[in-house]
């Protein structure tokens, strides 16, 4: 059995909203219920979108909610050399290739139907370019990204703690995906795989909008000779408009709720009820839920909506 090591990895692009807090709460409960280690990581690779002071405000809001961590915070922006080393390993193994297609090219060429919320499936336009031609184009400075060459006949099988069996025979593998952007920045998939592997993360709890990402990251784990974590993709919290809660919703950041008089207990209780972890009118705090928590019991209420009272 691997040691229980979980993580929460927010992006410091603004104040934390209730949907992020919900995922953090479940990740924390799952780790603490088994006396594991919690790692805090800031996913700040998208530097133009990072807002000054956002990381500190997120940490303050998490502490206010009653969530703590044992290691970190670690910032991805300090780990570029680690991502580059992983990319070079993939390159030496022939697992990546340069792709000169623009987003418009990919969208125009892709014909396969897409999973809801998934990336546009790459049609493989540059996959079999003659090596000499690709080398000349990269040497000439033609704008390009690097894609991971997916060779699996199906999506890699794994047991999601919330959604059950995923992938395996009869399913379609993901299309070749980006691991390095045109400016040399590692993609989300490469960065989180390297981080989770090097930090020994054994369990990843995150929103179920990221469920399609697991297949790509498992393939990268295999290519980099690492052991994938167990995944649990939890229900999303919706806003009053029935759409996934995000920073575009006004009045639903943790900081705004704090300022309007909400207590940490009220917010945690509301989220626990929405996720099936506390019955209506039941009055138990995080410690009470912690004693019986099992991620496999998480479910969204029929509406899944966070109402602002």
Q: What is the CA 236 to chain-centroid distance, rounded?
A: 13
**Which strands sit side by side in the sheet containing 37-42, from one edge to the other?**
5-8, 37-42, 71-75
Give tens-digit pLDDT for 1-16. Answer: 789 999 999 999 999 9
Give tens-digit pLDDT for 256-292. Answer: 999 999 999 999 988 888 888 887 777 777 888 888 8
CA 71 – CA 251 distance, rounded (Å): 31
Nearby residues of 47 by Cβ (< 8 Å), 6 or more positions away: 77
Is the confidence at residue 293, as pLDDT, over 70? yes
User: Could you tell me what percent of the chain has a pLDDT over 90?
Assistant: 71
Residue 131's pLDDT is 85
User: Could you tell me what percent of the chain has a pLDDT over 70?
Assistant: 89
CATH 3.40.50.620 residue ranges for the chain: 5-78+235-297
Is the confidence at residue 306, as pLDDT, over 80? no
Q: Could you tell me the CATH superfamily of domain 5-78+235-297?
A: HUPs (3.40.50.620)
Strand duo 5-8 + 230-234: pairing: unpaired
**pLDDT band of 244, cuts 50, 70, 90:** low
Count Cβ atoms below 10 Å from residue 1 Cβ, excluding itself.
4
Is the confidence at residue 115, as pLDDT, over 50? no
Alpha helix ranges (H) inside the chain: 18-32, 54-65, 80-92, 103-109, 131-139, 188-198, 211-223, 254-259, 264-274, 286-290
- State mean pLDDT over 169-194: 96
Candidate from 3-12, 54-63, 246-255 with smallest mean pLDDT: 246-255
For residues 74 and 41, is the Cβ–Cβ distance under 8 A? yes
Residue 277's pLDDT is 87
pLDDT: which is higher, 71 or 110: 71
CA 233 – CA 216 distance, rounded (Å): 15
Q: Closest Cα to residue 25, out of 309, 279, 274, 305?
A: 274
Residue 304's pLDDT is 53
Give tens-digit pLDDT for 124-166. Answer: 899 999 989 999 999 999 999 999 999 999 999 999 999 999 9
Topology, domain 81-158+165-190:
3.90.800
Beta bridge partners of 233: 206
For residues 193 and 224, is the Cβ–Cβ distance under 8 A? yes
Give tens-digit pLDDT for 192-230. Answer: 999 999 999 999 999 999 999 999 999 999 999 999 999
CA 287 – CA 273 distance, rounded (Å): 15
């Amino acid at each position: 059995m691997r040691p229980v090591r979980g993580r929460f990895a927010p992006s410091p692009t603004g104040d934390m909203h209730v949907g992020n807090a919900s995922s953090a709460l479940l990740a924390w409960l799952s780790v603490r219920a088994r006396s594991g280690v919690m790692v805090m990581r800031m996913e700040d690779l998208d530097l133009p979108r990072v807002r000054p002071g956002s990381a500190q405000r997120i940490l303050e809001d998490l502490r206010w909610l009653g969530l703590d961590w044992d290691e970190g915070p670690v910032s991805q922006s300090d780990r570029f050399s680690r991502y580059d080393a992983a990319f070079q390993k993939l390159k030496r193994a022939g697992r990546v290739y340069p792709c000169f297609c623009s987003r418009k090219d990919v969208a125009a060429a892709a014909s396969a139907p897409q999973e809801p919320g998934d990336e546009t499936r790459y049609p493989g336009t540059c996959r079999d370019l003659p090596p000499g031609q690709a080398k000349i184009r990269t040497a000439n400075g033609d704008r390009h990204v690097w894609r991971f060459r997916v060779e699996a006949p199906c999506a890699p099988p794994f047991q999601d703690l919330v959604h059950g069996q995923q992938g395996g025979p009869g399913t379609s593998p993901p299309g070749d995906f980006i691991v390095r952007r045109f400016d040399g920045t590692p993609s989300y998939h490469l960065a989180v795989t390297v981080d989770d592997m090097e930090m020994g993360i054994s369990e990843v709890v995150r929103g179920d909008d990221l469920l399609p990402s697991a297949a790509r990251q498992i393939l990268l784990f295999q290519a980099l000779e690492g052991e994938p974590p167990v995944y649990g993709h939890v229900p999303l919290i919706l806003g009053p408009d029935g759409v996934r809660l995000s920073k575009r919703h006004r009045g639903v950041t943790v900081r705004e709720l704090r300022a309007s008089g909400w207590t940490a207990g009220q917010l945690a209780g509301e989220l626990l009820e929405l996720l099936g972890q506390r019955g209506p009118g039941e009055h138990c705090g995080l410690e009470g839920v912690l004693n019986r928590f099992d991620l496999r019991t998480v479910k969204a209420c029929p509406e899944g909506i966070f109402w602002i009272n």
